Structure 1
Amino acid sequence: MDAPLKAIRRLMIESNALITVALRRTYIERAIGNHMTDLANHPSYAIADQWLTSPWSHIEPAMAFQLGLPILILRERGVIADGILEKGVLGTYMPEFDTSTPVNDYFDSPEWRDLIWKWEGQTRKVVETKGNPPKLY
């Protein structure tokens, strides 16, 4: 019954971590970024054969970040890496997956195991810390 952001905030407060899957949503055949700008620091650039994802793939991780929750974002190949999807924004490596290859090819890789173990460790720490009383100093 509440506004979506209020309901999401409630879920985030009750959560211990977040996994977001940024799937392809809107296809961009050809476009120009920063169109009609003449700022030296922000020149226009071409975008071709790229995808946008859902805005919720940006909103929910940003909300989780503000609460200090561990975040794992999986981005489908071809989705533009902007906003929170840019590498390094969250400090954690963000894997890119390809839906045209078997899922076990990635889930059996050392890259995936290292990443998920790190995220799981961070999540376990949140679970343990949430049960502690607040510190006075």
Structure 2
Amino acid sequence: MNELDVFVSVGGTATDKQEAFVRAVEDRLRSEGLVPHTVGRNTFSSDAPLKTVTELMDKCSGTVVIALERMYFAEGFDKRGGEKQKALSDVKLATPWNQIEAAMAYSHDHPLLMVVEEGLKSEGLLERGYDWYVQWVQLDTASLNSVEFNGVLASWKSKISESHKQKQERKSPSAEIDPTQLTIGQLISGLKPAQLWSILVILGGLIAGSFALGAKLIGGT
């Protein structure tokens, strides 16, 4: 199978351990014939981030979300000052870009592979129960060789292969379509507005000419 491009959502790493884990995921993807692309990591643009992400996702067949600890709060409160105030401790949050890019990938119909660091706050699209499976892992390369990871990766890879195939079929040249097999309605619906207008003008001229010819013949009899 030819190499397929995949989008990888991951924030800038803060520690050597995080960097080693991200590199291990990227290497694993490459070993599977998948080319990882991350804005700000191996793909750069002078455009605004959201525009760059959108354009890059258009070229990719699937998305991997690697959610790592970005912020840590030893103590805090949920709904502070209200009746439902709740004390929090040891809260670890991922970059909000994981949530943004996961939502964008879903809107692009990308199969999602969610890899989330153990201990992160389970919220938003990093929670289980949606159209994708969330894997909670330790930041250890051994996590990428587990039975669970291998199984989920194989399933996800199959989905992106099918997604890529469908994209290619949609991009197939219209010249391959046999017009003799199409109905009048299908032929008309496939015309551009300018083409349809030109045909209507020609038909109108033919109809007008027919009436004129008929009137001339009747008048001459």
Over residues 19-74 of structure 1, what are the superposed CA-to-partner deviations in whole Å (9 max), with x where a residue is unaligned?
01101011011111122334xxxx33332112111111111111000111011111
How many positions carry a matched residue from both structures? 127
- What TM-score do the two structures reach when normalised by structure 2? 0.54
Q: For residues 46 and 73 of structure 1, what CA distance do their matches in structure 2 show?
A: 29
Q: For residues 80 and 127 of structure 1, what CA distance do their matches in structure 2 show?
A: 33
Which of 135, 144, 159 lines up with 1:122 in the alignment?
159
Residue in structure 1 matched with residue 59 of structure 2 by the alignment: 14
- What TM-score do the two structures reach when normalised by structure 1? 0.84
Q: For residues 121 and 96 of structure 2, what CA distance do their matches in structure 1 show?
A: 12
Whether the 8 Å CA contact 2:72–2:90 is kept in 1: the answer is yes
**Deviation for aligned residue 1:81:** 1.1
* One-letter amino acid of the counterpart of residue 5, structure 1: L
Is residue 74 of structure 2 the alignment partner of residue 29 of structure 1? yes
Which of the two has higher C-alpha Rg?
Answer: 2
Residue in structure 2 matched with residue 52 of structure 1 by the alignment: 93
- Give the % identical residues: 27
* One-letter amino acid of the counterpart of residue 69, structure 1: H
5+ residue gaps, structure 2: 1-45, 172-185, 187-221
Residue in structure 2 matched with residue 103 of structure 1 by the alignment: 141
Over residues 80-136 of structure 1, what are the superposed CA-to-partner deviations in whole Å (9 max), with x where a residue is unaligned?
1111111113x222111112xx422x22221111110110011101110001137x7
Q: For residues 73 and 54 of structure 2, what CA distance do their matches in structure 1 show?
A: 31
Q: Which structure would you say has the larger RCO, counting Cα contacts within 8 Å and 6 or more residues apart?
A: 1
5+ residue gaps, structure 1: none
Greater helix content: 2
* One-letter amino acid of the counterpart of residue 63, structure 2: L
Residue in structure 1 matched with residue 124 of structure 2 by the alignment: 83
